[in-house]
Amino acid sequence: MRSLLTCFALVAVVLAVPAKDCAHKLKESVAPPRQWIKEGPASKDLPIELKIALPQPNFSELERHLNEISDPFHERYGQHLSKEEVEALVAPHAESISSVNEWLATHGLMGDDLSRSPAQDWVKVTVPVGLAEKMLNTEYHVWRNAKDGNTIVRTTSYSLPENLHGHIDLVQPTTLFSTLRGMDTNFRFSKESKQLDNADAPPINIPSASGGQVDASCNRTITITCIQQLYNAVGFTPSGKNGNKIGITGYLEQFANIADLQSFYADQRPDALNSTFEFISVNGGLNNQTLSEAGAEANLDVQFAFGLSHPIPGTFYSTAGRPPFIPSVSTPTNTNEPYTDWLDFVLSHRNPPQTISTSYADDEQTVPPSFARRACNQFAQLGARGVSLMFSSGDGGVGDGDDDPATQQCFTNDGRNKTQFAPLFPPACPFVTSVGGTIHVPETAVFFSGGGFSNLFARPAYQQHAVTTFLKKLPKGTYAGLFNPAGRAIPDVAAQADLFRIFLSGRIVSIGGTSAASPTFAGIVALLNDARISKGLPSLGFLNPLLYTISAAFPKGFNDITVGNNPGCGTPGFNATQGWDPVTGLGTPNFGVLKDILTGPFAHFARED
């Protein structure tokens, strides 16, 4: 520490040694993903918002708390932490704060130039690219995406003063080339709604369904009624006034149209007519209500999540920022991945929705490990505060859904160009619930259901038994070298993911993708939270330890899916099988059984206020 302070003192007080003379040491270096082509140096005047992450020395203690309050057999189950308690557990040491402040000051950055997270573990500062290059001893370039032509400003490596390495975990945007995207939705435009009816066909016998039957029409189109029947939720009416809430995240200028929502309600949920959702803008995010600009992803998520959970209040977050972007002096300075901007925002608020669904992700191997781990830790903070986070598992099976070998992420990004399965992030984060997809009645795995094993995150303890059991049944040598058998396994659960009937720009559309499965499962979770909160019990919070425990102890809580597979990367992918599998996880939910469990056997440890 003494040499660092000496260097800073020379710069700040004596002003005899410029900041660049403080010895820099390489902090991070990456190979650009396959589809990114270097175009030329970035303009020195281009403003860029640097996010500097300070270490969280007590994160392991936060993780311990999270594990205890999420374990249904632990005496602390359901005793979620407050915003202040979580912030105290992720706060950096004072020495790190002062060291980073001194470093920034040597570059003329202090006071109002800086903004900080409530826990002081993030510092944001907007600087010209030229200054960022001096601070990080690097060079920024413009990179073009060969697939879509978009461009982005990044570097493949950066350095920090050597004695700052222990006080800064990462700085972005630097090496982050990932491209946040929605799941690959499939469209089939319907001519007339009457053609979707199948009134003459007898109902399908499904013992786990409400009344043991599901309308035959659900094999042609999925509606709110189909989900309620199939997942045994018919007849449950949530309070809507007990403090329970559900949220949907929106990115990439995807707008949730209120007129379409009203048409959807008139079609499938007439008791919800004239109700709407709360819109929250993050960093200037918009929700344009021009009918022609309605977003398929946003409409799907909002219509089914809020339609299933009505009258539970719904929130739609629209986060600005669409990386990659066209770089110029007038370009907006938000060049970070927008879901981390959303995380910063929601963590700063006291009462976020207890259930939140997201249908956007990156290829895991395009996300620098330091960034992925830090973002994952932020998801853990929300879980500790009683928030359940659902993410679509992906729409490329065990691949990334790209059929072009030149841009396919089934090839490793380490120079070897080795074929490898392509899990997504954030679904691979062990602190979120990853949702795969099914189709038809009786349910089978839908072919595009994303699944597999993380190459970055180790398998967490809560899924050790279920995943090990699957791996033991897998024929020896199957896909050897194509996946990491010790990695965090996805998905955790599944739900219907195709033939969803929504309204888009005033028209009836049939749409599919795990982007349908995640809001559907989130709607069921919101109903479960409502049942608990109405009985004075806490929200479910981080779900995964509970889900795997229920699957083992109360197998009827999930509908096990044993037919289907998820091809990708030139392979048939994995097979759905008895128990957990990397196509449909533990299976699809049985709301009625889960409600009885969660207001009964796993309710008695709840803390009383």
Domain chopping of the chain, boundaries: 2-56+91-177, 221-598
Is the separation of the CB atoms in 522 and 357 below 8 Å? yes
Give Cα 21 distance to the centre of its chain: 41
Mean pLDDT, range 238-263, rounded to an integer: 95
C-alpha 349/C-alpha 355 separation (Å) is 15
Q: What is the pLDDT of residues 146-185, one digit of tens each?
A: 877 778 889 999 999 999 999 999 999 999 887 655 544 4
Name the β-bridge partners of 363: 424
Q: Is 591 helix (H, G, I), strand (E, B) or coil?
A: helix
Q: Please state whether beta strands 141-145 and 424-425 pair in parallel, antiparallel, or not at all (unpaired).
A: unpaired
Q: Quote the CA–CA distance of 133 and 354 in Å, as a whole number.
A: 41
Is residue 15 predicted with pLDDT exceeding 70? no
> Is 301 among the catalytic positions?
yes
Q: Return the bridge partners of 121, or none.
A: none
Which residue in this structure is represented by tokens 């042609």?
Answer: 220
pLDDT at 411: 83
186-231 pLDDT, tens digit each: 444 444 444 445 557 899 999 999 999 999 999 999 999 999 999 9
444 has pLDDT over 90: yes
Instruction: Give the mean pLDDT of 425-446.
Output: 97
> How confident is the model at residue 320, as a pLDDT?
85
Q: Is 197 helix (H, G, I), strand (E, B) or coil?
A: coil
Q: Taking the domain 221-598, which CATH number applies?
A: 3.40.50.200
The mean-pLDDT minimum among 47-61, 178-192, 570-584 falls in 178-192
In 14-133, beta strands by DSSP E: 24-29, 36-41, 47-53, 114-116, 122-128
3-class state of residue 163 by DSSP: helix
Calculated CA dihedral for residues 407, 392, 315, 68, nearest 10 degrees: -130
Our CA angle for 497, 447, 233, nearest 5°, is 30
pLDDT tens per residue, range 94-126: 999 999 999 999 999 999 999 999 999 999 999
Q: Which of 309, 510, 515, 518 is catalytic?
A: 515
Residue 363's pLDDT band (boundaries 50, 70, 90)? confident
**Catalytic hit among 121, 133, 169, 301:** 301
Local structure of residue 78 (DSSP, 8 states): T
Distance CA 121, CA 66 (A): 19
- Which of 37-46, 242-251, 269-278 shows the lowest per-residue confidence on average (mean pLDDT)? 37-46
Distance, CA of 41 to CA of 49 (rounded, Å): 18
Long-range contacts of 193-196 (CB under 8 A, 24+ apart): 193/267, 193/508, 196/220, 196/221, 196/501, 196/508
Binding-site residues for Ca(2+), in ranges, read 560-561, 579, 581
Confidence of residue 402 (pLDDT cuts 50, 70, 90): confident
Question: What's the pLDDT tens digit per position in 522-532?
Answer: 999 999 999 99
* pLDDT for the residue 404: 67
Query: Identity (one letter) of the amino acid at 342?
Result: W
CB-CB neighbours of 473 under 10 Å: 12
Q: Looking at residue 455, what is its pLDDT?
A: 96
Question: Which pLDDT value is given to residue 253?
Answer: 83
Report residue 581's pLDDT band, with 50, 70 and 90 as the boundaries.
very high
Query: One of 87, 297, 395, 492 is an active-site residue; which one?
Result: 297
User: Mean pLDDT score of the chain, rounded to an integer?
Assistant: 89
Q: Is the overall model pTM greater than 0.75, yes or no?
A: yes
- Looking at per-residue pLDDT, the higher value among 560 and 144 belongs to 560
| Residue 144 pLDDT level (bands cut at 50, 70, 90) | confident
**How high is the pLDDT of residue 198?**
54
The answer to whether 68 and 76 have CB atoms below 8 angstroms apart is yes
Q: pLDDT value at position 129?
A: 94
Of the pLDDT bands very low, low, confident and very high (cuts 50, 70, 90), residue 333 is: very low
The residue type of 269 is R
| Mean pLDDT score, 300-309 | 98
pLDDT tens column, 459-515: 999 999 999 999 999 999 999 999 999 999 999 999 999 999 999 999 999 999 999
Beta carbons of 324 and 152 less than 8 angstroms apart: yes
Mean pLDDT of 541-557: 97
User: Buried b vs exposed e over 527-563: b needs ≥16 C-beta within 10 Å?
Assistant: bbbbbbbeeebbbbbbbbbbbbbbbeebebbbbbbbe
pLDDT at 218: 97
Q: What are the binding residues?
A: 560-561, 579, 581
How confident is the model at residue 199, as a pLDDT?
Answer: 58
Q: What is the CA radius of gyration of the chain?
A: 24
